[in-house]
Amino acid sequence: MESNKPNNENSQDQGQKTPNSSNTNTQSRERRPNPHRQNNTPNKQGQNSENRQNNQSNNANRKPNNNPNRKPNPNKDVNGNVHDKEVNGNKKPNNNQNRNNNNSQNRKPNPNAKPNNRPSNNKSGGNKGRGRKKNVTTVNDTMRASIEENARVKDATMNPWKQIDIASKGKIRFTPLGGLGEIGGNMAVLETETTAIIIDVGMSFPDETMHGVDILVPDFSYLHTLKDKKVFVIITHGHEDHIGAMPYLFKELKFPIYATPLALAMIENKFNEHGLKADTKYFNFVTIRKQYQLGDMKIEWMHNTHSIIDACSLAIETPAGTIIHTADFKIDHTPVDGYTMDLHRYAYYGSKGVLCLFSDSTNSHNPGYTKSETVVGKTFDTLFDLAKGRVIMSTFSSNVHRIFQAMERGVKHGRKICVIGRSMERNVETNRALGFVDIDDKHFIEVHEVPKYSENEILIVTTGSQGETMAALNRMATDEHRHIKLKPSDTVIISASAIPGNEGSVSKLMNLLVKAGVTVRYREFADIHVSGHAGQEEQKLILRLVQPKFFLPVHGEYNHIAKHAQTAISCGVDKRNILLMSDGDQVEITPKFIKKVKTVKSGKTYIDNQNNMTIENDVVLDRQKLAEDGIINVVAQIAQSNQKIVGKLVISTHGLVPDKEDKKFSKEIEVLIETMLLNMKPEALKDHRNVENEIRAVIRKHVVRTKKRYPLIIPTIFIV
Ligand SMILES: [Zn+2]
């Protein structure tokens, strides 16, 4: 592992090309998105040879970009659209009325033409009739040369990915195994010929059709195929949807894990729960701004801002080129701990040329910026001022900055802090141990001490903001909590928004709280919660800092990644260089192209949290069938001699017909079976399995016809 060059080396490199930053500003304002202009190539192969030419000419000859469409700004209108004719030369750089005359001469496009900055004192017609003489700008050769030079430098600073060695034979493969087509469950594999890194191992939540399933973990089948490579697990941050499946992975496969301290501490908590304590020997604590050589890849963790502490993006140097993976992020310029996102590193890698950017698409539909976490603190101030009795604050147990802000406000308002809820207690304890929550012990009390204080001296920080039935807040709301009974004087703050899929349970919780008579503070205060994910303007900033050749929007359902792709196109990424992927897709990326090469096995494994065990697929399918279509049990003895039912046929149904119709329905089934038996060939009756299949078929046909349902049909037959 070696230390990176300091940032300013980057600006030194760039210094030759970019005299000052205002150029870049001007440039980005004028160069409005025009995807057709970025890489005007007929196909990927052709594009690359041309890119190389552009690259060479930029670097070696230092001539203005020989792409006619990239000519300096005198050829562009205010929207940045390029015109073959110099129609808009009058707008800038010299606002010269005489231009109109020039333009009317209908010049032919000439990519090699100099900007139309002819000294204006040649002309006078444009000022006629104005009543007074106008000040006219004289553009002499020196000025024209300067304009051209600035335009050339601007061109040269765009698309630094053109520096990538197109002749390189390096290639990598990227395979998302979770997190695409869904929010959560993030896991992906990036591999070279000899090395594979597994980026995050997250869990997700089931939908309402997955009865009895508590969490979903990605299918690890593909990881078993990597055994000939050096494999490493790379963790970006400690959220459940990035580390939640780690214990399940380690029960199947074990690899060295690289992550920041908080993420590893949270994984350790999980390993302890799952009896994997010994596996902490696989832990490697990383330092940000350092490169780690893992196989033939070099990885740097870059500090970012998100709704958890110690979150990072990744810069990965591979044989094919540099990959930037933002992981989850937002760009918070005023974070609670003062440590802003390390945008310098993005700029550093961006200026060296980035082959491909993978970026968080969660909030890609949100225009503008996501607000800073600190705005929530101000809201807490207001809410604490308003609260007369106890304050009960609930948020995600991993959002330590949120929790810290509430605690800090609580202390300021003379309240003692009581932390309730297993995951909240554990996370607060871990973050205090690591020094991320700096609040003195004397401010904390145990739950049994709460009654010792007056109501306005209590702040309870608890779990359950998603309406989870087992969480502390829900148990308080249903009056099932052992220690905390809600009172009308209480203020309950829900500092969260419902994760997609949890809206119903959050609404249920609201109803319970309102019924209990407490003051509920939720969405009526706009800044009671802010997202941890970047809005469009932040996504654009990353796209512009990195300026990648290829772009893969990740983390989101299809509509999220599609929207992010549009944003990328508007920021100059060629739409042919963007792929919208699904879990299991494998793409190959080389300096020349990106293409899907195959699909590997992906999917979800169902987990029952009560025992941390896997639930087999067919069990979940049976449960779905039972819930949706009911069940029919048939037990019969059949005499082979006369092909008739012996004794009484037992038929029981559930979830199909109301009790009062049970008898009638059973009779129908009985008649069907009797008829079927009589029509069977005697030799077919010898095999009870055969008879069961026949019975199943005849009942299914009847039920589909009469009830339009597909119940689970279980015949048990004895041939006598
Ligand atoms: Zn996250």
What's the 186 CA to ligand 1 centre distance in angstroms?
10
What's the 401 CA to ligand 1 centre distance in angstroms?
13
pLDDT at 517 over 80: yes
Q: Which pLDDT score, from 0 to 100, does residue 374 have?
A: 95
What's the 213 CA to ligand 1 centre distance in angstroms?
22
What's the 184 CA to ligand 1 centre distance in angstroms?
9
Q: Which pLDDT score, from 0 to 100, does residue 326 have?
A: 97
Q: Which pLDDT score, from 0 to 100, does residue 115 have?
A: 46
What's the 200 CA to ligand 1 centre distance in angstroms?
11
What's the 312 CA to ligand 1 centre distance in angstroms?
10
What is the per-residue pLDDT across 3-37, written as a single tens digit (0 to 9) for each? 333 333 333 333 333 333 333 333 333 333 333 33
What's the 398 CA to ligand 1 centre distance in angstroms?
9
Q: Which pLDDT score, from 0 to 100, does residue 166 have?
A: 87
Query: In which band, very low, low, confident or very high, does the pLDDT at 188 lie, cut at 50, 70 and 90?
Result: very high
DSSP alpha helices (H): ranges in 57-209?
Answer: 99-103, 141-157
What's the 183 CA to ligand 1 centre distance in angstroms?
10
What's the 205 CA to ligand 1 centre distance in angstroms?
15
What's the 373 CA to ligand 1 centre distance in angstroms?
14
CA–centroid distance for 547 within its chain: 20
Query: In which band, very low, low, confident or very high, does the pLDDT at 130 lie, cut at 50, 70 and 90?
Result: low
What's the 138 CA to ligand 1 centre distance in angstroms?
57
What's the 71 CA to ligand 1 centre distance in angstroms?
42
What is the per-residue pLDDT across 342-367, written as a single tens digit (0 to 9) for each? 999 999 999 999 999 999 999 999 99
What's the 330 CA to ligand 1 centre distance in angstroms?
10
What is the per-residue pLDDT across 609-639, written as a single tens digit (0 to 9) for each? 778 788 888 888 888 888 888 899 999 888 8
What's the 477 CA to ligand 1 centre distance in angstroms?
28
Percent above pLDDT 90 for the chain: 58
What's the 366 CA to ligand 1 centre distance in angstroms?
17
Q: Which residues pair with 460 in a beta bridge?
A: 392, 418
Q: Which pLDDT score, from 0 to 100, does residue 87 have?
A: 34
- Least confident range from 48-62, 541-555, 699-713: namely 48-62
What's the 331 CA to ligand 1 centre distance in angstroms?
13
Mean pLDDT computed over every residue of the chain: 83
SS3 assignment, position 230: strand
Q: Which pLDDT score, from 0 to 100, does residue 500 have?
A: 77
What's the 577 CA to ligand 1 centre distance in angstroms?
26
pLDDT at 429 over 70: yes
Q: Which pLDDT score, from 0 to 100, does residue 207 have?
A: 78
What's the 311 CA to ligand 1 centre distance in angstroms?
8
CA angle 203/207/211 to nearest 5° reads 100
306 within 8 A of 263, measured Cβ to Cβ: no
Q: What is the pTM of this model?
A: 0.75
What's the 202 CA to ligand 1 centre distance in angstroms?
10
Q: Which pLDDT score, from 0 to 100, does residue 156 have?
A: 86
- Least confident range from 251-255, 360-364, 518-522, 690-694: namely 690-694
pLDDT at 651 over 60: yes
What's the 328 CA to ligand 1 centre distance in angstroms?
5
Query: In which band, very low, low, confident or very high, does the pLDDT at 131 lie, cut at 50, 70 and 90?
Result: low
What's the 62 CA to ligand 1 centre distance in angstroms?
44
Q: Which pLDDT score, from 0 to 100, does residue 393 have?
A: 97
What's the 468 CA to ligand 1 centre distance in angstroms?
19
What's the 327 CA to ligand 1 centre distance in angstroms?
8
What's the 548 CA to ligand 1 centre distance in angstroms?
23
What's the 283 CA to ligand 1 centre distance in angstroms?
20
What's the 683 CA to ligand 1 centre distance in angstroms?
64
What's the 303 CA to ligand 1 centre distance in angstroms?
13
- Report which listed range, 125-129, 202-206, 309-313, 633-637, is most confident: 309-313
What's the 263 CA to ligand 1 centre distance in angstroms?
11
What's the 446 CA to ligand 1 centre distance in angstroms?
30
pLDDT at 296 over 70: yes
| Token representation of residue 534 | 């970047």
For residue 518, CA distances in Å to 66, 491, 608 come to 70, 6, 34
What's the 295 CA to ligand 1 centre distance in angstroms?
27
pLDDT at 706 over 50: yes
Biggest alpha carbon–alpha carbon distance for the chain = 121
Q: Which pLDDT score, from 0 to 100, does residue 720 have?
A: 83
Query: Which value, in Å, is the radius of gyration of the alpha carbons in the chain?
Result: 33
What's the 472 CA to ligand 1 centre distance in angstroms?
23
What's the 470 CA to ligand 1 centre distance in angstroms?
23
What's the 715 CA to ligand 1 centre distance in angstroms?
49
pLDDT at 224 over 90: yes
**Burial (CB count <10 Å: 0-12, 13-18, 19+), residue 20:** exposed
Average pLDDT over residues 429-434: 92
Q: Which pLDDT score, from 0 to 100, does residue 527 have?
A: 92
What's the 241 CA to ligand 1 centre distance in angstroms?
7
DSSP string, 364-427: TT--S-PPPTHHHHHHHHHHHHH--S-EEEE--TT-HHHHHHHHHHHHHTT-EEEEESHHHHHH
Average pLDDT over residues 567-585: 96
For residue 674, CA distances in Å to 644, 682, 692 come to 7, 14, 13
> Helix 343-352 to helix 7-15 angle, to the nearest 10 degrees?
40
Q: Which pLDDT score, from 0 to 100, does residue 227 have?
A: 87
Minimal CA–CA distance to 332: which of 547, 528, 534, 546? Answer: 534
CA neighbours within 13 Å on the CB side: how many for 165? 9
557 within 8 A of 184, measured Cβ to Cβ: no
Beta-carbon count within 10 A of 632 CB: 26
What's the 551 CA to ligand 1 centre distance in angstroms?
20
**Distance (Å, rounded) from C-alpha 461 to C-alpha 432?**
15
pLDDT at 43 over 60: no
What's the 530 CA to ligand 1 centre distance in angstroms?
13
What is the per-residue pLDDT across 56-102, written as a single tens digit (0 to 9) for each? 333 333 333 444 344 444 333 333 343 333 333 333 333 333 333 33
What's the 559 CA to ligand 1 centre distance in angstroms?
19
Q: Which pLDDT score, from 0 to 100, does residue 64 have?
A: 39
CA–centroid distance for 159 within its chain: 25
Average pLDDT over residues 361-387: 95
| Token representation of residue 520 | 């509920």
What residues flank ion ligand 1 with Cβ within 5 A?
239, 328
